[in-house]
């Protein structure tokens, strides 16, 4: 019995021992709804089979051990333990199966909800009025809507299938002809396309959270059509103002195309060449002029079509039979490729000048004849010699008097041209304001090209007229230097910034060496010298670079401009400073200058007492220099109110500006330009007119913009004084004038006003407005 008891005790499980401790059941609570059902079932079946094997092994062990354990109680005890372990394993297996079924149901519901969400998303995409395209993170096509697919079907092109790469779709759209035109802009939200069906669409792209891309194509055809209509109307208005300007110029002005038809002419040209009241517009030059006269003009016409500017004098017979001497100037017009597309015609009546020259020539011939007679008579009597000497003295006195009168007449002409610069610049200033307003609008390629051509032509007219006025003012002595000591830093920085973009546009590199030297000169006139140097350097340098810098030399500073141009022959170095003299390298294209830039430099340098020098090596380049004495700055003062900052800003929305100008065209042009910058503008021709339009004493205003020359012997300074005299707080003032005198500049500076000379530069005007609004 003892042995039986011992055997029974040896197979009795110890405390805490069970079947579960031999092979614990897997943890089913960690299963997720998303686990694959079949794999989980296979895992549970394998676990169940393993438990059965353990159970059978234990039963066999118990039964086999019973032969050695005669005690019935031990066998019963083992059977009870084994049954309990089997029951626990069965319950665990049933619980796992229930959890698996619940997971399968949740997974089915999730799939149904996902399918419902996908269908709703498809319906929402399909309801979008714009074309919709969705790409994955690899830029492969996932989904499109019917609107996008309709673009392709209308063009007869197969619709891209899912999986196509975005670059393949773009290339197919262009190669198939679906996209006719593409327009893009840095500031625009997306590219704009013209499709083969004549509709305009704007493309907008967004990146998804997963790195994919959503593309929308919005139909903007109606917007484009409305915008084009506005542009055409603005262009027609600009053309009308150009005609107004040319019709008031006392010269014959026309434009002739490459086919020799008159495409534009002013009223003076039309009145002179309008035979029998029929306008020459649209006619061939051969039909405008007589056969003989056309044949005389033909060599000059062929020369200008070859790209050369020509000026010549011809005697003409008018429709009523009167003979007039005409000075003709033909200037070629080139497109962006340099090809001559036509030429400008400027004809001036010089009949009176020619008659005066003929009369002087006859008088000179008569004088020479009389001198010869008197000389022959000198061999006679001594008395006759004395008498002849007296007569010659009288003649010389008359000649000196005639010479003095001629010089006085020339000086009067120069002063007259300098004095009427205001009237000459008024219509040009108006045209510049309108074209500047047009350039800030968005046009189609053709309309924008026309506007740029108009602006370029106005720039050329402005440069030529400004140069002529400057040389006339210098000759007349109406410009006097305002010499002060100033730091070169700001002057050189501004000039370098201004010309660096011009150089880049010509494919050149402009290097700049800054300097903080203090010099004594007129800052504006010195800047004009450097600008003329740089303009010539850019104009005549085909490739390479340009350098602007300074050299200190004891009590002077040498300001220099170096270039890598073709150079200047040694025998031409002094000739280039003469008026209307230009040295053009062989093979170089003709330019639109008058040859006055260096002549102006020479006159300004003489006025300031500065030395100008030039050295050059043919084939390597040239260097132009001006010597300026060093100076000493006065104690620091606050920034004058009439200093204009250099960088514009866009914060002009809602700025209130009052414009006073006696020229209605200037008023309208300024209003158009300022309203294009979102300003609120009130225009008037006088202070009284302004008072009738706005309550000047109480109405808020950010700036009063006034022309100095007004009607009825009034000026802008007095008009502004009347306006600010009625206000509790004076308004800031910007005075605009074509008067360059130092007296007026000093007077306006003492009043604390800003000053700007005509013609007004829109970018500089915007800088002034921004400066005033900030302050």
Q: What are the E-state strand segments in 488-582?
A: 509-512, 518-521, 545-553, 556-563
Q: Write the pLDDT tens digit of every residue in 624-676.
A: 899 999 888 876 444 434 444 444 445 678 889 999 988 887 888 888 888 88
Averaging pLDDT over each range in 112-126, 434-448, 589-603, 701-715, which range is the top one?
701-715
Consecutive H or E run containing 623: strand 621-629
Class of domain 480-629: alpha beta
- The string of DSSP letters for 567-612 reads ---GGGTTGGGSTT---PPTTPPP-S--S-HHHHHHHHHHHHT-EE
- Cα separation, 587 vs 169, in Å, equals 49
Residue in the structure block whose two tokens are 């913009």 = 705
Long-range CB contact pairs, 69-74, < 8 A, 24+: 69/4, 69/7, 69/8, 69/11, 70/4, 71/1, 71/4, 71/5, 71/8, 73/8, 74/4, 74/7, 74/8, 74/11, 74/12
**Region 701-714: what's the mean pLDDT?**
86
List the structure tokens of 434: 């309108």
Find the largest Cα–Cα distance for the chain. Answer: 196
DSSP 760: P
pTM as predicted:
0.37
CATH code given to domain 128-219: 3.30.450
Helix ranges restricted to H, 248-381: 267-273, 285-288, 291-305, 351-377
State how beta strands 545-553 and 509-512 pair.
parallel
Fold of 250-349: Beta-Lactamase (3.30.450)
- Residue 300's pLDDT is 92
Q: pLDDT averaged over the chain?
A: 77
C-beta neighbour count of 641 within 10 angstroms: 17
Q: Write the pLDDT tens digit of every residue in 726-761.
A: 988 888 999 888 776 677 788 888 888 888 877 777
**Residue 638 CA, distance from chain mean position:** 33
Q: Say whether domain 656-774 belongs to CATH 3.40.50.2300.
A: yes
- Residue 420's pLDDT is 54
Q: What share of the chain has pLDDT > 90, as a percent? A: 6
- Cα separation, 130 vs 132, in Å, equals 6
Lowest pLDDT segment from 282-296, 435-449, 582-596: 582-596
Q: Write the pLDDT tens digit of every residue in 475-497.
A: 656 567 778 888 888 888 888 88
Q: Does the pLDDT of residue 230 top 70, yes or no?
A: yes
Q: Write the pLDDT tens digit of every residue in 3-60.
A: 433 333 333 333 333 333 333 333 333 334 444 667 777 888 888 888 888 877 777 7
Q: Write the pLDDT tens digit of every residue in 147-195.
A: 888 888 877 888 888 888 888 888 888 888 888 888 876 666 678 888 8
| Rounded (5°) CA angle 302-306-307 | 125
Q: What share of the chain has pLDDT > 70, as a percent? A: 74
Q: Which residue from 420, 246, 451 is spatially nearest to 346, judged by alpha carbons?
A: 246
Q: How confident is the model at residue 132 (pLDDT cuts 50, 70, 90)?
A: confident
Higher per-residue pLDDT: 292 or 93: 292
List the structure tokens of 682: 């009130």
**Region 205-228: what's the mean pLDDT?**
84
- Residue 278's pLDDT is 83
Q: Is 181 helix (H, G, I), strand (E, B) or coil?
A: strand
**Region 104-113: what's the mean pLDDT?**
79
Query: 264 near 240, Cβ under 8 Å?
Result: no
Query: 448 near 455, Cβ under 8 Å?
Result: no
- Residue 477's pLDDT is 61
Q: How confident is the model at residue 415 (pLDDT cuts 50, 70, 90)?
A: low
Helix ranges restricted to H, 209-345: 221-247, 267-273, 285-288, 291-305
Higher per-residue pLDDT: 302 or 648: 302
Query: 767 near 747, Cβ under 8 Å?
Result: no
Q: How confident is the model at residue 401 (pLDDT cuts 50, 70, 90)?
A: confident
Per this entry, what is the length of the chain?
775
Q: Write the pLDDT tens digit of every residue in 329-383.
A: 999 999 888 899 999 999 888 888 888 888 888 888 888 888 777 776 666 667 7
- Cα separation, 54 vs 19, in Å, equals 8
- Residue 637's pLDDT is 41
CA-based R_g, the chain, Å:
47
Q: Give 26-88 as a 3 state SS string.
A: CCCCCCCCCCCHHHHHHHHHHHHHHHHHHHHHHHHHHHHHHCCCCCHHHHHHHHHHHHHHHHH
| Rounded (5°) CA angle 533-536-540 | 145
């Amino acid at each position: 019995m003892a042995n039986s008891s011992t055997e029974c005790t040896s197979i009795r499980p110890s405390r805490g021992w069970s079947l579960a401790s031999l092979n614990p059941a897997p943890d089913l609570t960690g299963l997720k709804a998303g686990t694959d059902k079949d794999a989980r079932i296979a895992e549970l079946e394998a676990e169940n089979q393993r438990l059965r094997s353990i159970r059978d092994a234990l039963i066999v062990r118990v039964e086999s051990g019973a032969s050695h354990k005669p005690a019935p109680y031990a066998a019963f005890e083992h059977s009870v333990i084994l049954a309990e372990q089997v029951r626990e394993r069965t319950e665990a297996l049933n619980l796992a199966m229930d959890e698996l079924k619940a997971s399968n149901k949740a997974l089915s519901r999730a799939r149904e909800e996902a399918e419902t969400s996908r269908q709703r998303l498809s319906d929402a995409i399909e309801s979008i009025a714009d074309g919709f395209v969705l790409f994955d993170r690899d830029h492969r096509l996932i989904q499109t809507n019917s609107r996008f697919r309709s673009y392709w079907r209308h063009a007869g092109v197969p619709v891209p299938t899912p999986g196509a790469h975005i670059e393949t779709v773009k290339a197919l759209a262009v190669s198939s002809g679906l996209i006719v035109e593409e327009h893009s802009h840095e500031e625009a939200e997306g590219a704009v396309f013209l499709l083969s069906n004549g509709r305009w669409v704007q493309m907008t792209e967004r990146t998804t959270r997963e790195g994919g891309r959503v593309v929308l194509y919005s139909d903007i055809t109606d917007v484009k059509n409305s915008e084009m209509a506005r542009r055409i109307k603005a262009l027609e208005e600009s053309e009308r103002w150009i005609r107004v300007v040319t019709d008031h110029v006392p010269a014959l002005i026309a434009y002739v195309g490459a086919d020799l038809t008159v495409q534009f002419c002013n009223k003076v040209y039309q009145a002179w060449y309008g035979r029998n009241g029929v306008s020459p517009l649209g006619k061939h030059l051969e039909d405008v002029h007589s056969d003989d006269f056309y044949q005389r003009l033909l060599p000059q016409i062929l020369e200008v079509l070859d790209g050369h500017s020509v000026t010549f004098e011809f005697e003409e017979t008018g429709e009523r039979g009167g003979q007039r001497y005409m000075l003709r100037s033909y200037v070629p017009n080139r497109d962006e490729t340099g090809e001559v597309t036509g030429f400008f015609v400027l004809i001036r009546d010089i009949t009176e000048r020619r008659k005066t020259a003929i009369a002087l020539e006859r008088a000179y011939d008569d004088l020479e004849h009389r001198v010869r007679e008197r000389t022959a008579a000198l061999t006679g009597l001594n008395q006759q010699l004395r008498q002849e000497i007296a007569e010659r003295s009288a003649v010389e006195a008359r000649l000196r008097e005639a010479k003095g009168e001629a010089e006085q007449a020339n000086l009067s002409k120069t002063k007259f041209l300098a004095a009427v610069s205001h009237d000459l610049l008024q219509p040009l200033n108006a045209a510049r304001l309108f074209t500047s307003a047009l350039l800030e609008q968005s046009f189609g390629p053709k309309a924008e090209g026309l506007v740029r051509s108009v602006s370029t032509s106005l720039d050329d007219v402005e440069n030529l007229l400004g140069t002529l006025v400057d040389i006339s003012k210098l000759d007349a002595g109406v410009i006097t230097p305002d010499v002060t000591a100033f730091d070169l830093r700001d002057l050189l920085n501004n000039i370098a910034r201004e010309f660096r973009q011009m150089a880049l546009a010509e494919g050149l590199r402009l290097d700049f060496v800054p300097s903080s030297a203090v010099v004594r000169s007129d800052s504006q006139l010195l800047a004009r010298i450097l600008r003329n140097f740089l303009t010539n350097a850019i104009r005549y340098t085909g490739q390479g670079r340009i350098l602007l810098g300074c050299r200190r030399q004891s009590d002077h500073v040498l300001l220099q401009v170096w270039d890598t141009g073709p150079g200047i022959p040694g025998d031409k170095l002094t000739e280039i400073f003469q008026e209307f003299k230009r040295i053009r390298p062989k093979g170089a294209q003709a330019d639109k200058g008058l040859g006055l830039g260096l002549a102006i430099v020479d006159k300004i340098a003489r006025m300031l007492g500065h030395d100008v020098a030039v050295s050059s090596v043919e084939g390597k380049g040239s260097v132009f220099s001006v010597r300026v004495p060093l100076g000493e700055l006065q104690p620091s003062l606050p920034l004058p109110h009439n200093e204009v900052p250099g960088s514009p800003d866009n914060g002009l929305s809602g700025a209130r500006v009052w414009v006073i100008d006696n020229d209605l065209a200037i008023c309208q042009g300024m209003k158009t330009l300022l309203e294009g910058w979102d300003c609120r503008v009130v225009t008037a021709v006088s202070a009284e007119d302004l008072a009738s339009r706005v309550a000047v004493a109480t109405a808020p205003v950010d700036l009063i913009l006034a022309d100095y020359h007004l009607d009825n012997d009034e000026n802008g300074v007095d008009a502004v004084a009347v306006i600010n005299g009625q206000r509790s707080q004076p308004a800031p003032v910007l005075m605009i004038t074509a008067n360059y005198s130092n007296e007026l500049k000093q007077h306006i500076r003492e009043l604390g006003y800003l000053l700007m000379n005509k013609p007004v530069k829109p970018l500089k005007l915007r800088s002034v407005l921004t400066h005033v609004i900030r302050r």
